Amino acid sequence: MSETEISTSDEFSLSGQLLIAMPNMLDPNFAGSVVYLCEHSVKGAMGLVINRPTDLDIHSLLDKINVNVPDALPAHFPVMMGGPVAAERGFVLHTEPLDWSSSLKVNDELSLTTSRDILEAVGRGEAPSKWLITLGYAGWGEGQLEQELAQNAWLTVPANHTILFDTPLEERFAGAYAMLGIDPALLTGAAGHA
């Protein structure tokens, strides 16, 4: 697959935003989660949970797929649980270079790659400067995310590289809320309508 830019030009889109689970989120796949939305259109949405590590680290994952592990790679670089869809498939969200064998350009700064060549580059010590890897993704059908937003299941905030790549995993949930100036401990799960 060649590089493709995700485009939702003339419609409401939350692509590039974070979804932050509200306290009333009961779905165990998403309670306490922060999701980076890679794509959002009238057809549905696709994102990656960025604060839930799996039992695997990058060393174990690369070893499982027979890719050499570079010495310079941090020992505890986590592989994230990206969501309940296609949980056996890897997704790499990354900065430049943005074009690999199977990449979707999310925006001018980020791509989502699913091909082995990026993992082989990691094995050679040639990884993009900022990246995270997930197993699986979060997906919503047509109108499903909008319905969840209307039910106050999520808050949204524009994403930045700090929260995506540099904030420690255990601080991403509170950090995403802090971007809105909110302390999650003070929130209630009750919906309010004027």
d(CA 186, CA 32): 14
What sign does the CA torsion over 94, 100, 102, 108 have? positive
Please report the pLDDT score of residue 54 as a whole number.
Answer: 94
Q: pTM for the complete prediction? A: 0.87
pLDDT digit string, tens, across residues 164-186: 999 999 999 999 999 999 887 77
Residue 11, classified by CB atoms within 10 Å of its CB into exposed (0-12), middle (13-18) or buried (19+), is exposed
Is residue 44 helix, strand or coil? strand
pLDDT digit string, tens, across residues 131-158: 999 999 999 999 999 999 999 999 999 9
pLDDT digit string, tens, across residues 80-124: 999 999 999 999 999 998 778 888 889 999 999 998 899 888 888
Please report the pLDDT score of residue 148 as a whole number.
Answer: 95
